[in-house]
Amino acid sequence: MVTLSELQRSSVERGEPSRRTTISAAIHQSGLYGRVARRKPLHSKRHMAARLEFAKKHLKDSQTMRKKILWSDETKIELFGVNARHHVWRKPGTTHHQANTIPTVKHGGGSIMLWGCFSAAGTGRLVRIKGKMTAAMYRDILDENLLHSALELILGRRFIFQQDNDPKHTAKISKEWLQDNSVNVLEWPSQSPDLNLWRDLKMAVHRRFPSNLMELERCCKEEWAKLAKDRCAKLVASYSKRLEAVIAANGASTKF
């Protein structure tokens, strides 16, 4: 991550001053180019070892087994939160006409938190989380939605539930509910490469330009239900490649 200016100063200090263009050309000749560094979660050696062990253990899982997994996650969706360009056909001088603009407000206009689940067979329930979620609220979400989702997706009683290691998920009250309802839980190391449909949902929702939080919630639920089953199936089928990337990175974080 050393800069060209730092390399140039170093060359002067060594008594071999070089121009920036010369240094840059030498670097390019070596096959190196300046790029923006990707942000990746910081992992301890223990977390990396756990991720690597998990990837090796589950790499050979059959697609039949993966089709029985009910994946879950939470996300925040902002009312005007997708930073994407939208194109519009307009006449000269109509740049600021209401029909040709996208509404925005300061600080995003508010947001909602959602919990959702899906499997290779399609999307399950999607629930809005009111206020700051507690372990008790999470237990209630599971109680009201998890088994119903598994039933609606025809996963059978022996389905496998995936959740991350958020403290609310691993709290005693949550674990007891899962045990009492005989739910098989997939062990999940920190920062493992997950599968999620949130990007798909957010793009679909913001194409509809909801104007308030009630509309945002309604659009989220409607678009979640419309997400294609084959998209869910392809996402689950891609999991082997994600695990292979973890193994290739020796347990380090990967981005998909």
pLDDT, one tens digit per residue, over 56-80 is 999 999 989 999 999 999 999 998 7
pLDDT above 50 for 256: no
Mean pLDDT, residues 209-218? 93
The share of the chain scoring above pLDDT 90, in percent, equals: 52
pTM of the model: 0.73
pLDDT above 90 for 4: no
User: What φ, ψ does residue 45 adopt, rounded to 5°?
Assistant: -60, -30
- Whether the CB-CB separation of 144 and 169 falls below 8 Å is answered with no
- Whether the CB-CB separation of 108 and 79 falls below 8 Å is answered with yes
The share of the chain scoring above pLDDT 70, in percent, equals: 86
Give 154-209 pLDDT, tens digit per residue: 999 899 999 999 999 999 999 999 999 999 999 888 766 667 789 999 999 988 98
Query: Within 13 Å and on the Cβ side, how many CA atoms surround 114?
Result: 25
